Chain A
Amino acid sequence: MKNGVGVAQNIVLFGGTSEIGQAIIHKLVKPGVSHVVLVSRDIDAAEVQVAEIAERYPDLEVHHVRFNADDSASMIHVVAEVAQQVGDIDVAVIAQGVLQEGVDYYKNPAALLPVADVNFTGTMVLMYALAAQMRSQGYGKMVLLSSVAGERVRKGNPVYGATKAGIDGFALALDHELIGSGVSVLVVRPGFVTTKMTKGMDKAPFSTDAETVATAVEKAISSSRTVIWVPGLLQYMFLILKNLPTAVWRRLPL
């Protein structure tokens, strides 16, 4: 259940080691939260990062569920296992994602399969399974970490951009389908976020950090917003970028 001051009792993080996901958990855990479930491949790594929260809130129970994010079909069982451990899933933060750099997809096209499975196919299965669970609860919030990379997919990493474009579109339509059910989706579109995932990469303009993304999510989660951009200015920038003629877009030094 969530309470009257917007605190959800049971919070689940899919992609338990995601830096942005962890930062969001740190923001959402407040007095009144009873269970946090970390769903990840590497349980030890996920645990280290919440040790500090667990210490601050002695009533809080932290659970772990192992998953393989690229095994799309297994997502159904993952959701069932989480629900079995804590009951209602009040907030699900969906943060699993793969960003491959420097892979030559021309030589090795099959290398993109796990990216598509984690970022797109598996996430869709997961979100439908969560939607079914939350609909039966009469309440629930999914927070999907999308990316501005999906806004207008560009060269350099078309696979990543395309998976984000796909899942972003899916999530918006799913939110639309769920109107009236008490369940909703918040799509988060950060710009370039400096994390371990993007370590060593050149910073894009309007880059941000996990903390800033988490603060924006905390603020938006109890509102009726469906999409947030971090930083907010990106919304207006992409309004222009999306509508540029192809010839101009392709010449931009992005």
Chain B
Amino acid sequence: MVMQRLSGWGRTAWTVADLVHTTDVDVVRSTIGTAGERGVISRGLGRSYGAAAQNAGGIVLEMTSENDPMGIDADFDPLTGLLTVAASVSIDAILRMCVPQGWFIPVTPGTRFVTVGGAIASDIHGKNHHIDGSFGQHVHSLTLMLSSGEVIELSPEENAAWFWATVGGMGLTGVVLRATVAMLKIESSRVEVETVRLENFDAVCAAMSADGSDDDYRYSVCWVDLLATGASMGRGVLTRGDHAVASKLENKDPLAYDPRLTVSAPGWVPNGLLNKWSIKAFNEAWYRKAPAKSHIGLESIPAFFHPLDGVNRWNRLYGKQGFIQYQFIVPLDRTDVLRKVIEKFSAAGVASFLAVLKRMGPQNGAPMSFPTEGWTLTLDMAAGISGLAELLSEVDTLVLDAGGRHYLAKDSHVSASAVRRGYPRIDEWMSTQEEMDPIGLWRSDLSRRLGLVDQRRSL
């Protein structure tokens, strides 16, 4: 038993749990057999920002295989593009294996350091949600260990209700052991990217709207400057594109792939490093760096999809206080709410280093999956800002009143009632969850805070 202090990627709300690192099915089964009333949750690479993969006083199964001497536990058919892979394997490992063979992961978040298990549990999305949907839609089947220790096979055809309860189920239906994912065929490891500078928020929304040309691009996302005021309020840099065809790369190996970590954040950072002034200066430089006129160029996979992975442990840049990431979605016709939210944060002097806007496509069959047709805005902020709890609560109300909701993989503050309002199918999910886990074994700090699992079911 190793008692370990754990937090999410945001480095807030630390709690202590018994951490068991394993990828062995028998060890998983025997470990869950020893669980007490605080239960068990599985954890991958800990990239959820809040408390989704921690379990105060209970057991945390750390299922990662980053440095496994046995290599990647995966079965890949380069003819069909079907990849059957252990849940502990990261997207990073998958890309290293598959990109040189001409295949890409169908959905990637802003970091490649997430496991397949985590990708399913959070039903992650990427810059292509408006075209390709979220991760769960590309999973053909998965193997799950239930709280009874029984291992079952789930797919959208076979036991669909349990499959979709697991997709976006935050690890609360069981431990995902393996999954079969349909990969995406690519001709090159480059992305042909169009970069457009947009001078204010209206221009941003217009450029990304469904009536515009946005659906012509597989990938589309806009960085937004939340500190710009007046006429430039909400100005941004829109980048969109698709995998480049091989003929675009002259005389180069089209599938060469070499992701590297460039620099590391220092071990200690003063709390105020990322403040209103430093971020304002960064934003100005970032905006000016983008060409005033639309520009098309080739970018590598890491540069386009995973820019922050270039800085190892970038989450330490906020110092000891940690940071929170706020991601919500509102219906397409509620750009007024986006504007109000931006104004509210701006008026409170909350500086966000990363603010990203994306238009999402329709929702999939998972009751607790976050993406649904609408606009999603993501911003991060230092956790130590005074009055933040009150400010976020006001913003939550704006979002919920507009029929929006919050992304649980990012969440570190919303209330149980906010989740109930935002996810209208939560009762259906909770009853499926109870069917799958009648003893109430699966628990996390997130599930406790949000009442996702009936606490009265005790082991």
Chain A residues close to B by CB (< 8 Å): 1-7, 9, 30-32, 34, 59, 87-88, 135-139, 180-182, 222
Contact = CB atoms under 8 A, between A and B. Distances in A.
B126 interface: no
Nearest to B413: A3
A6 B383 CA distance: 8
Interface in B2-21: 3, 5, 8, 10, 12-17
Contacts of A59: 415, 417
Contact of A182 (B12, B14, B413): B14
29 contacts: A1-B56, A3-B389, A4-B50, A4-B412, A5-B12, A5-B324, A5-B383, A5-B389, A6-B12, A6-B384, A6-B389, A9-B449, A30-B390, A31-B389, A31-B393, A32-B393, A32-B415, A34-B416, A59-B417, A87-B455, A135-B57, A138-B38, A138-B56, A139-B15, A139-B56, A180-B3, A181-B16, A182-B14, A182-B15
A32 B13 CA distance: 14
B361 interface: no
Interface of B: 3, 5, 8, 10, 12-17, 38, 49-51, 55-58, 322, 324, 383-384, 388-390, 392-393, 412-413, 415-417, 445, 448-449, 455
A3 B14 CA distance: 9
Contacts of B50: 3-4
B51 A4 contact: yes
Nearest to A30: B389
A132 B12 CA distance: 23
Nearest to A9: B449
Majority secondary structure, B binding face: loop
B449 A1 contact: yes
A162 to B, nearest CB: 34
A215 to B, nearest CB: 11
Given A1-B51, A5-B389, A182-B16, 20 more contacts: A1-B56, A1-B449, A3-B389, A3-B412, A3-B413, A3-B449, A4-B10, A4-B12, A4-B50, A4-B383, A5-B324, A5-B388, A5-B412, A6-B384, A32-B415, A34-B415, A138-B57, A138-B58, A139-B16, A222-B384
Contacts of B324: 4-5
B13 A2 contact: yes
A7 B16 contact: no
Contacts of A31: 389-390, 392-393, 415
Nearest to B320: A224
Contacts of A180: 3, 5, 16
Contacts of B415: 31-32, 34, 59
A139 B444 CA distance: 13
Contacts of B417: 59
B52 to A, nearest CB: 11
Given A3-B413, A4-B10, A4-B12, A136 B389 contact: no
A5 B413 contact: yes
Contacts of A7: 389, 413
